[in-house]
Amino acid sequence: MNSLKIMNKQKFEYFLNAVHYCMWLFERKSQDIINRTFLLIISPIPKYLLSSKYKERFYRYQKQRMTELDKFFNDKKSGFSIGLAHHNFGAFYSIYPCIFSFVIEGLYIKFNGEMNTFVILVIFAIPVGICYIPAYKAVFSNDKYLKYFKLFEKEDEHWHKKWKRRTIAFILGAIASLLLGIITAYTIVIS
Residues with Cβ within 8 Å of residue 47, at least 6 apart in sequence: 55
Per the structure, how many domains does the chain have? Answer: 1
CA distance 19 to 13: 10
pLDDT value at position 166? 97
> For the purposes of burial, counting CB atoms within 10 Å of the CB of 68, is it exposed (0-12), middle (13-18) or buried (19 or more)?
exposed
pLDDT band at 177 (very low <50, low <70, confident <90, very high): very high
pLDDT at 129: 93
pLDDT given at position 84: 95
Residue 5 has pLDDT above 60, yes or no: yes
Q: Are 147 and 77 in contact (CB under 8 A)?
A: no
- Is 52 inside any structural domain? no
For range 40-60, the mean pLDDT: 79
pLDDT tops 80 at residue 38: yes
* Range 171-191 average pLDDT: 94
90 falls within a domain: yes
Instruction: Quote the CA–CA distance of 137 and 141 in Å, as a whole number.
Output: 5
Long-range CB pairs of 79-88 (<8 Å, 24+ gap) are 80/27, 80/31, 81/24, 81/27, 81/28, 81/31, 82/24, 82/27, 84/27, 85/20, 85/23, 85/24, 85/26, 85/27, 86/20, 86/140, 88/23, 88/27
Mean per-residue pLDDT over the chain, rounded: 90
Range of the domain at 181: 2-23+76-190
Query: What secondary structure does DSSP assign to 50-90, as a single string?
Result: S-HHHHHHHHHHHHHHHHHHHHHHH-TTT-HHHHHHHHHHH
Residue 91 lies in a domain: yes
Is pLDDT of 1 > 60? no
pLDDT value of position 64: 85
Per-residue pLDDT tens over the stretch 93-134: 999 999 999 999 999 889 888 778 898 899 999 999 999 999
Task: Judge whether 104 lies within some domain.
Answer: yes
Residue 158 domain-assigned? Answer: yes
User: Residue 64 domain-assigned?
Assistant: no
Q: For residue 172, is pLDDT > 80?
A: yes
Q: What are the pLDDT digits (tens) for 51-99?
A: 878 878 888 888 888 888 888 888 899 899 999 999 999 999 999 999 9
Element (H, E) at 124: helix 117-135
